[in-house]
Structure 1
């Protein structure tokens, strides 16, 4: 005890059994006698009794109790608080010891052999590949093909196949006039159909025109 004037104290269980005493010897027997007399009074939680020559104090906390005998110079309230603090420290120490001595929990072993499953596990269905979109080829029919347009004949180019019938029909009688609605357009006369010109004769004529008489030439000198 940390206070002067305390003659002795006892640590008791819930049912009043003495678990420990301080100090031991003749002082312990005197404190036990006082405890027996105090227990006959009743079963209090916190209490004290004052006598002319001594003070008895009692405190109960949880499953343990404390009883002390002190001199008259000690205040009863201080003695009761001192016993309660001692019980609180004892509870804290026991709690720490339990945590230290507690064994780690071991996983429980299997009770028997593993059972064989008669039902097959359902497997997830395989992913179905997405269909690939292939464009449909477009068939071009004869009706859809563009119509071939006739190419008009070039200007100034003669068609030998057309000139021969023209020459052949020159000596014959003119053909009857066709219907205006059915008449074909006249094609232009090509250069081959024009009469040929003698270039030599033309050159001589131009040369004669360009020649200057000698008399005029001498006069100019």
Structure 2
């Protein structure tokens, strides 16, 4: 990719593409890789650069970053910086698209283990439990008193006084007895 870039523009002396970590991924010509890496290091001393160019002595340094890749071209000072920068951007775009395409083709990793699933049809237990569970027998409840009988029972002074926090069902019956319509008893 870097050799195609350098071949398409006159007066390009070196071309380099690096990873996010600054590791060389490709260069042209191969003999200029160490020099191009040192130029890239000097450009990085400026800070986190996105794209631009600088004329240093008789050279034009053009650089850009796209996604996880950065590219650098070293050309003669007479080269057109805009043209070189545009081609450098295109090279970085092609590298990023190629990486995304390869990631899409990669097989998905193994699925994380899942919890066990319960069966839709439970198996019936054929074995008996170790100890026998005794059935609980409940006594039948007594017939509830009529509301009037409950009211009369509360008039008895022998009834113990209730704590202020407890609910007295008889007092509630007295309170709400007047709220029921008179014909409601006839319909029931």
| TM-score, scaled to structure 2 | 0.52
Q: What is the CA distance between 1:64 and its match in structure 2? A: 1.4
Flag the structure with larger Rg.
Answer: 1
Quote the Cα distance in structure 1 between the aligned partners of 2:27 and 2:87: 16
Quote the Cα distance in structure 2 between the aligned partners of 1:4 and 1:13: 26
Quote the Cα distance in structure 1 between the aligned partners of 2:45 and 2:109: 46
Partner of 1:14: 20
* 1:162-201 superposed matches below 5 A: none
Give the direction of change, closer, same or farther, for the CA distance of 1:104–1:54 in structure 2 (3 Å limit): closer
1:78 aligns with 2:62: no
Partner of 1:55: 60
Greater percentage in strand: 2
Partner of 2:150: none
Q: Which runs of 5+ in 2 are unaligned?
A: 125-188
Find the residue that maps to 1:42 and give its secondary structure.
Answer: coil
Quote the Cα distance in structure 2 between the aligned partners of 1:102 and 1:109: 20
Partner of 2:104: 99
Structure number with greater CO (CA < 8 Å, separation at least 6) is: 2
Q: Could you tell me whether the CA contact under 8 Å between 2:19 and 2:68 is conserved in 1?
A: yes
Quote the Cα distance in structure 1 between the aligned partners of 2:44 and 2:122: 68
Q: What is the CA distance between 1:42 and its match in structure 2? A: 2.2
Partner of 1:88: 93
Quote the Cα distance in structure 2 between the aligned partners of 1:34 and 1:91: 22
Q: Could you tell me whether the CA contact under 8 Å between 2:68 and 2:96 is conserved in 1?
A: no
Q: Could you tell me whether the CA contact under 8 Å between 2:15 and 2:36 is conserved in 1?
A: yes
